[in-house]
Amino acid sequence: MRAIKFKESNVVFAENQDEYKQLPAYYDKTQNEGVVVTCYKLSFTERLRVLLFGKLWFAVMTFNDPLQPQLPSTKKSDIFNPIES
């Protein structure tokens, strides 16, 4: 699984940090929550595992601070909802 750039991406975390993989993301500082959205591309084998077992493991480093809310999804519309006029 690898993080991928997507249309709404506006930042790359760890861009100059060799010890980490680069993380393209959409970062919205205008919201009080400071929303960060990332997108991942699964390999063929990973897609088969999800299909067969229906599980996706997810780890978050909290650095011993409180855990922040997470919203995993397979649908972009769960994350980016267009504002209706």
Q: How many CB atoms lie within 10 A of CB 68?
A: 10
Please check whether residue 81 lies inside any domain of the structure: no
- In tens, the pLDDT along 72-82 reads 999 999 988 75
**Structure confidence at residue 80 (pLDDT):** 87
Q: Model pTM?
A: 0.81
In a domain, 47, yes or no: yes
In a domain, 45, yes or no: yes
Domain that holds residue 29: 2-60
**What contacts 15, CB < 8 A, 6 or more positions away?**
22
Contact in structure between 14 and 20 (CB atoms under 8 Å): yes
Question: How far is it, in rounded angstroms, from Cα 5 to Cα 45?
Answer: 21
Residue 9 resides in a domain: yes
Q: Is the pLDDT of residue 85 over 50?
A: no
Domain count of the fold of the chain: 1
